[in-house]
Amino acid sequence: MSKLGKREPNKIFRLEELYDEINDVLENDIVLSGVRVKAEVSSYKMYPSGHIYITLVEKASQKDKDGKDVFLRLTCKWFKGFNQFSKDKTKIKVGDVITVFGTVNCYNANSQVSIIVKSVFLTDEEGQAKAEREKRRLELEQKGYFDPAHKKPQAPKYPRAIGIITSEAGDARYDIEKTVQKKNPYVQLYLLHSSVQGAGAGASIANAIRFFDKKEDVDIIIIGRGGGDKLDLTAFDDVEVVEAIYHCNTYIIAGTGHTPNRTLADYAVDKLSNNPTDAAYDAVFDVVSELEKIDNQIERMNSSIYTKYDDYAHWLEKTRLEIENKSPVLKLNNRFAELEGYSRDMSHNILRVLNLYENALGSMTAGVQMNSPKVRLEGMESDLTHLTENINMNIRERFTEKWNACVSEIKMLDAQNPAKKLIGGFGYIEKAGEPITSVNDVQVNDEINIKVHDGELMAQVVTIQSNPAKVE
């Protein structure tokens, strides 16, 4: 490191050597090594490390080429080792006037001149920038520029297009675009680059508002920028910006900075959001999430429909089997099968009995032949004849009894036959092969098929009239 008194004339410095030389001069200068500066606080940030960074601001005596005020800015670094015992460090806020004591330093990383603060003194004075801004706010408020009754109550729920007013190179632009595309990719986005700080920034923002207000498809305008201290937001305190917002017919949302300090534009807009991302979130309806909900509902409905379909298919199959089991044809076939079984059993029994009597007769004949008593033979022949008649009579009676029971059963089944009723003026009505059991099964102009005992009729429904007495 170079030391004062040992510098070489006409020496060619490297950048690091030059910064070291500058800081040597500043640290050893009797004024700049212990300088006192009084100015208004534009930014005051306390970090978890204990270090405090302050931005001081003062209005310059000369205005810029557009006649706007110019503000001078100075960064101060109040490290933990110097501020840990200060009682004022928690009282200082933006807009206060303070006096700082420290050493002027040139930080070589960004070529920024700052003050390494050793102590800070809070004054009772009010900052000029704060006072002028408050005066301007009151004047605009008296003109009605901040009147809630003048603001548009609600943003369009489904905007066709959104006009974005910010710097094309800033993070705010990408935060807005990313958020809108995530929630509603169907919205058209227009970006109009505007200076958001520095000379002419206020006029640039106001012109952009007026431009988008004339576009018919732009339903919402978003103005915003990224974070910064209070001085960085002065463009949004410009009267021209407030007037442009007041006279704008399009809904305007402001997402200006990540700071609790409100600009005058924030008071005039229809909707105030905390930052550009929140402004984009407030501007659009979450179509993507809504479509996902609809898809989920459709999936649940389809699942329910398939479940119901399976349940009804099983019920129909069960009903079909029950109907088949109760069919008159099936019952008649079962009865005929039973009758055939009875006939087989009777034939078997008759043959068995005849065989028994034939064997008995053979035995008797053999006995007669062996004994040769004619009278006994004739008596036995008479008994045999009588027994044969009884057997035949019993067989005929039992067969007749079974036959009559079968005939009665057949008559009963025949009486229950649906086709039998058709002869008495009744008809069987179908639609598309399905029976019609209620007036609710058909609609006017439906074609129906009517079966009677000697043919079928095709008809068309002209009117439908319910029978109230039959409705449960």
pLDDT of amino acid 190: 92
The residue that leads in pLDDT, 228 or 207, is 207
Q: Once rounded to an integer, what is the mean pLDDT over residues 219-231?
A: 80
Sorting pLDDT into bands at 50, 70 and 90, what band is 220? very high
Residue pair 209/241 in contact (Cβ under 8 Å)? The answer is yes
Give yes or no for residue 222 having a pLDDT over 70.
yes
Q: Once rounded to an integer, what is the mean pLDDT over residues 164-189?
A: 89
Which residues have CB under 8 Å from 211's CB, separation 6+? 163, 192
Which candidate, 126, 71, 77, places its Cα nearest to that of 97? 126
Torsion of the alpha carbons at 163, 166, 171 and 177, rounded to the nearest 10: 0
Please give the Cα distance from 172 to 279 (Å, whole number). 10
Sorting pLDDT into bands at 50, 70 and 90, what band is 2? very low
Show the tokens assigned to 449.
């098929």
**For 115-173, how does the pLDDT look when each residue is reduced to its tens digit (9 = 90+)?**
889 888 888 776 666 777 778 888 888 888 888 888 898 888 889 999 999 888 888 88
**For 41-94, how does the pLDDT look when each residue is reduced to its tens digit (9 = 90+)?**
888 889 999 999 998 888 888 877 777 777 788 889 999 888 888 888 888 888
pLDDT of amino acid 251: 95
Residue pair 183/281 in contact (Cβ under 8 Å)? The answer is yes
**For 97-114, how does the pLDDT look when each residue is reduced to its tens digit (9 = 90+)?**
888 998 888 876 667 888
pLDDT of amino acid 197: 78
Burial of 29 (0-12, 13-18, 19+ CB in 10 A): middle
Give yes or no for residue 452 having a pLDDT over 90.
no
Which candidate, 286, 291, 292, places its Cα nearest to that of 187? 286
Give yes or no for residue 30 having a pLDDT over 80.
no
pLDDT of amino acid 249: 93
Q: Once rounded to an integer, what is the mean pLDDT over residues 359-388?
A: 75
Mean pLDDT score across all residues of the chain: 82
Please give the Cα distance from 261 to 199 (Å, whole number). 21
**For 418-446, how does the pLDDT look when each residue is reduced to its tens digit (9 = 90+)?**
666 666 677 778 888 888 888 888 888 88
Q: Once rounded to an integer, what is the mean pLDDT over residues 345-364?
A: 84
Please give the Cα distance from 255 to 243 (Å, whole number). 18
DSSP designation for 33:
G
Give yes or no for residue 13 having a pLDDT over 50.
yes
pLDDT of amino acid 112: 80
User: Residue 39 CB: number of other CB atoms within 10 A?
Assistant: 21
Of the ranges 68-77, 169-178, 270-279, which one carries the lowest mean pLDDT score? 68-77
Please give the Cα distance from 134 to 127 (Å, whole number). 11
pLDDT of amino acid 126: 67
Give yes or no for residue 211 having a pLDDT over 90.
yes
Which residues have CB under 8 Å from 465's CB, separation 6+? 439
Give yes or no for residue 460 having a pLDDT over 60.
yes
Percent of the chain clearing pLDDT 90 (strictly above): 12
pLDDT of amino acid 142: 87
User: How many alpha carbons fall within 13 Å on the CB side of residue 386?
Assistant: 6
Q: pTM for this structure?
A: 0.51
Kind of pairing between the strands at 447-452 and 428-431: antiparallel
Give yes or no for residue 253 having a pLDDT over 50.
yes
Question: Got the DSSP string for 412-461?
Answer: HHHHH-HHHHGGGT--EEEETTEE--SGGG--TT-EEEEEETTEEEEEE-
Residue pair 212/190 in contact (Cβ under 8 Å)? The answer is yes
Question: Got the DSSP string for 369-394?
Answer: HHH--HHHHHHHHHHHHHHHHHHHHH
User: How many alpha carbons fall within 13 Å on the CB side of residue 205?
Assistant: 32
**For 81-96, how does the pLDDT look when each residue is reduced to its tens digit (9 = 90+)?**
888 888 888 888 888 8
Q: Once rounded to an integer, what is the mean pLDDT over residues 191-200?
A: 82
Sorting pLDDT into bands at 50, 70 and 90, what band is 1? very low
